[in-house]
Amino acid sequence: MSERGALLASGKVRDVYALDDERLLLVASDRISTFDVVLPTPIPDKGRVLTGLSAFWFARTREIVPNHLLELGDDGRSTICRRLEMLPVEMVVRGYLSGSGWVDYQANGEVCGHVLPTGLLESQQLPEPIVTPATKAVEGHDLNIDEEEAAALCGSDRYLQARDAALAVYRFAARHAQERGIVLADTKLELGVDSGGRVTLADEAVTPDSSRFWPRDGYRPGGPQPSFDKQFVRDWCLATGWDRTYPGPELPDDVVAGTRARYVEAFERLTEIEFDAYLADPKVVL
Ligand code: Q0Z
């Protein structure tokens, strides 16, 4: 992998380049965001943890859903992907009641048109996972929509295929994570359509940046749960008196090291592969 191609899109913590008409290069940085602000201090290897986890899930779910992954880079933080026609909605799969799902449930007992049982607690497991689509807003914040609106935007047949694919990936990953001590509360998946018309999983898959990972030990519904990866850095930032606006505080070495250790622990628990083995040869996750 030598040519990067032209920058196609830039996110808060990663970039996508166009290699040619059929292929993209995704590069994950070590930047970390909290409360929607990118902090000035990177977390070493965070981009590698996320790229490795994503590739791990793509490799393990390829029989369930086709995906865009073509090649994992030797640097451990870049992937070459099949260029797709992306669906205009993100698929959030929720197995637990948290974040905007909890906010919406408290307001009217529904989440994106899914009528839920009464009396559920914050962070409680739902009777069944639900798909709550969202439109991609230009700057960060996504707008939750119901499945009828999503079907209108995607075409109903495509929407139903994408919904089934997203649910299947969530169920696989949530069970895998649960068995390894991590609750996968929810995950945001992006799907597209390949040149043959197949609905295909794209972007990053089931990483801490696109999902809520909670430690299974200490999970207790009835309030918010600590984030497996970011709680440490969030708590430290707030303890400085930071008001959650740009710019965020610079992180001291011990907070950087502690946060890195949590990302690496999530990687190792989920993949059962030593992170050092991934650094030596990223293809071990495939
Ligand atoms: C995903 C994004 C990122 C910023 C474009 N396989 C694909 N085919 C077509 N388009 C995409 C993909 Cl992955 C695509 N994004 C989201 C990724 C930085 C925005 F790394 N943009």
For ligand 1, residues with CB inside 6 Å are 9-11, 14-16, 24, 26, 68, 81-84, 86, 192, 202-203
Nearest CA residue ID for atom 1, ligand 1:
203
- What are the residues whose beta carbons fall under 8 Å from the beta carbon of 284, sequence distance 6 or more? 273, 277, 278
Nearest CA residue ID for atom 6, ligand 1:
83
Q: What is the pLDDT averaged over residues 96-103?
A: 96
DSSP lists the bridge partners of residue 91 as 133, 189
Angle, alpha carbons 230-234-239 (nearest 5°): 155
The model's pTM is: 0.98
Cα separation, 252 vs 275, whole angstroms: 23
Give the position, in ligand 1's atom list, of the atom nearest the Cα of 27.
Answer: 20
Q: How far is CA 148 from CA 145, 154, 223, in A?
A: 8, 10, 31
Q: What is the pLDDT of residues 22-68, one digit of tens each?
A: 999 999 999 999 999 999 999 999 999 999 999 999 999 999 999 99
* Residue among 26, 29, 65 to mutate when testing ligand 1 (max atoms within 8 A of CB): 26
Q: What is the pLDDT of residues 243-255, one digit of tens each?
A: 999 999 999 999 9
Give the position, in ligand 1's atom list, of the atom nearest the Cα of 82.
Answer: 6
- What are the residues whose beta carbons fall under 8 Å from the beta carbon of 116, sequence distance 6 or more? 97, 105, 109, 110, 126, 127
Question: What does the block give as tokens for 113?
Answer: 């048109």
Q: What is the pLDDT of residues 197-221, one digit of tens each?
A: 999 999 999 999 999 999 999 999 9
Q: What is the pLDDT of residues 113-144, one digit of tens each?
A: 999 999 999 999 999 999 999 998 766 678 99
* Residue among 82, 194, 203, 204 to mutate when testing ligand 1 (max atoms within 8 A of CB): 203
Q: What is the pLDDT averaged over residues 140-168?
A: 95
Asked if residue 120 lies in contact with residue 104, where contact means CB atoms within 8 angstroms, the answer is: no
Q: Ligand 1 center to residue 220 CA distance, Å?
A: 35
Cα R_g (the chain), whole angstroms: 18
